[in-house]
């Protein structure tokens, strides 16, 4: 089992900033640097005879840094991704507020 964990660690170690910031791309006279939110996780378990493990990850594009000639670097968000990420947060906040309000009424 320790062998599996060390193999996973060796593969994950080189992952860094390049996971969330892409390579600059030239589009016409503009330079774009894509930005995303990324995360991953792994787990393993077992005993001397049986064991198992797994892992997963996700990446959500949130926008890009854009450099135009004669202008400073600006961040332009990907509104569709930001809405998709914020909808669950808004839903959970609404559920929590409704429970708090219900508790205060009692």
Window from 8-17, 33-42, 65-74, 88-97 with minimum mean pLDDT? 8-17
Cα–Cα distance for residue pair 16/2, rounded to 1 Å: 23
pLDDT classification of 31: cutoffs 50, 70, 90? very high
Q: Provide the number of structural domains found in the chain.
A: 1
Domain containing residue 68: 2-105
What's the rounded Cα separation, in Å, for the pair 51 and 96? 39
Q: Is the pLDDT of residue 1 over 60?
A: no
Min mean pLDDT across 26-40, 45-59, 91-105 is at 45-59
Residue 29 and residue 69 in contact, taking contact as beta carbons nearer than 8 Å: yes
Strand residue runs (E) in 7-102: 25-27, 30-46, 51-67, 74-77
| Mean pLDDT estimate for the chain | 84
């Amino acid at each position: 089992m320790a062998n599996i964990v060390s193999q996973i660690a060796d593969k994950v170690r080189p992952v860094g900033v390049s996971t969330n910031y892409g390579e600059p791309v030239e589009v016409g006279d503009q330079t774009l640097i894509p930005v995303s939110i990324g995360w991953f996780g792994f787990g393993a378990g077992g005993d001397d005879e049986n064991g198992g493990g797994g892992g997963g990850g996700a990446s959500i594009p949130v926008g890009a840094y854009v450099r135009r000639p004669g202008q400073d670097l600006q961040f332009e968000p990907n509104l569709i991704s930001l809405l998709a990420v914020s909808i669950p947060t808004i839903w959970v906040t609404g559920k929590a507020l409704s429970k708090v309000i219900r508790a205060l009424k009692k």
